[in-house]
Amino acid sequence: MEITQKFPGVYQIHDHLATENLTPTIKVYGEKLEELEGKEYRIWDPRRSKLAAAVLKGMTTFPFRIDSKVLYLGASAGTTPSHISDIIREGWVYCVEFSPRMMRSLLDVCQLRENMIPLLEDATKPRNYLPLLQKVDVLYSDVAQPKQSELFMNNMRLFSKSDGIGIIMIKARSIDVTQSPKKVFREEESKLKTGGFRVLEKINLEPYEKDHRALICEFAF
Ligand SMILES: C[S@@+](CC[C@H](N)C(=O)[O-])C[C@H]1O[C@@H](n2cnc3c(N)ncnc32)[C@H](O)[C@@H]1O
């Protein structure tokens, strides 16, 4: 079987994306495991993870490094955070999730992965977890909320290093079901620009996710 590296820590095995399993033999969401050249890889499903979808749809600014510090907003049960944990194996990922039900599943994942730090917090109130965090290299936001952009910018301003990269997964229907997704995306992008951010990449996530767009941003100064 052939394996190629797409980005640091991200591999392609045949047509599938994969990350090297930090916790060999253990699956997080029923994903397939592949053993190759003495290492175990977890197949990364683009229909379960918007970051995998963005990579497959041509993302070029992939900011994660082996020792990156990451703040993840909307960690849910840990599907995408677990792949980030595989990639940044010498760094750590703070996982913010406000639903106690999702947090219970997330805790099972974090218990086995020492570089995942669970935080039962509301991402609209970042000052509540300000004392717990250090500045991060990458902020990833996937909260599917009406105020997604505002929440993303507020967290970026408090927690991102000045040269940090932000990734926001915009779900048009969570913002306004009555507007066309195109219009919603334009408005969210304009909010980010007015808020002092430069949009480096815009990635449409179809066919993996309907009416979703990934925006990769940095501070404009
Ligand atoms: C679309 S899911 C995230 C899926 C996850 N990013 C993945 O790829 O594995 C959105 C999650 O954001 C959480 N969420 C929504 N609003 C939030 C908030 N204000 N603070 C923290 N978590 C929030 C929800 O409970 C839900 O688990």
Residue nearest to atom 23 of ligand 1 (CA): 74
Q: Is the CB of 143 under 6 A from ligand 1?
A: yes
Q: Is residue 24 part of a domain?
A: no
Query: How confident is the prediction for the chain on average, in pLDDT?
Result: 96
Q: Is the CB of 123 under 6 A from ligand 1?
A: yes
Report if residue 9 sits inside a domain: no
Q: Is residue 10 part of a domain?
A: no
195 in a structural domain: yes
What CATH number should be reported for the domain holding residue 141?
3.40.50.150
For residue 86, what are the domain limits?
46-219
Going by alpha carbons, the residue nearest to atom 15 of ligand 1 is 143
Q: List all residues 6 or more positions away from 216 whose beta carbon is below 8 Å from its beta carbon.
A: 59, 61, 63, 165, 166, 167, 199, 200, 201, 202, 203
Q: Which residue has the tokens 């050249």?
A: 37
pLDDT of residue 206: 95
> Looking at the predicted structure, is the pLDDT value of residue 1 above 80?
no
In whole angstroms, give the CA distance from residue 106 to residue 118. Answer: 7
Side chain identity at residue 63, one-letter code: P
Q: Is 171 helix (H, G, I), strand (E, B) or coil?
A: strand
What are the pLDDT digits (tens) for 39-66? 999 999 999 999 999 999 999 999 999 9
Q: How many domains does the chain have?
A: 1
Which pLDDT does position 181 carry in this prediction? 85
- What is the Å distance from ligand 1's center to 151 Cα? 12
CA-proximal residue: ligand 1, atom 25 (nearest): 99
Ligand 1 in reach of 49 Cβ (< 6 A): yes
pLDDT exceeds cutoff 80 at 136: yes
CA angle 211, 62, 23 (to 5 degrees): 95
Q: Which helix (H) or strand (E) holds 217?
A: strand 212-219
The CA distance from 150 to 47, in Å, is: 26
- The mean pLDDT value for 141-153 works out to 93
Answer yes or no: is the C-beta of 133 below 6 A from any ligand 1 atom: no
**Which residue lies with its CA nearest to atom 7 of ligand 1?**
80
- Whether the CB-CB separation of 155 and 141 falls below 8 Å is answered with yes
R_g of the chain computed on alpha carbons: 17
Answer yes or no: is the C-beta of 215 below 6 A from any ligand 1 atom.
no
Is 163 part of any domain? Answer: yes
pLDDT tens digits, one per residue of 6-52: 999 999 999 999 999 999 999 999 999 999 999 999 999 999 999 99
Question: Is 129 inside a domain boundary?
Answer: yes
Q: How far is the CA of 195 from the centre of ligand 1 (A)?
A: 23
CA of 75 relative to ligand 1 center, distance in Å: 5
Q: Are 129 and 158 in contact (CB under 8 A)?
A: no
State in Å: Cα 121 to ligand 1 middle: 11
> How much is the pLDDT for 180?
86
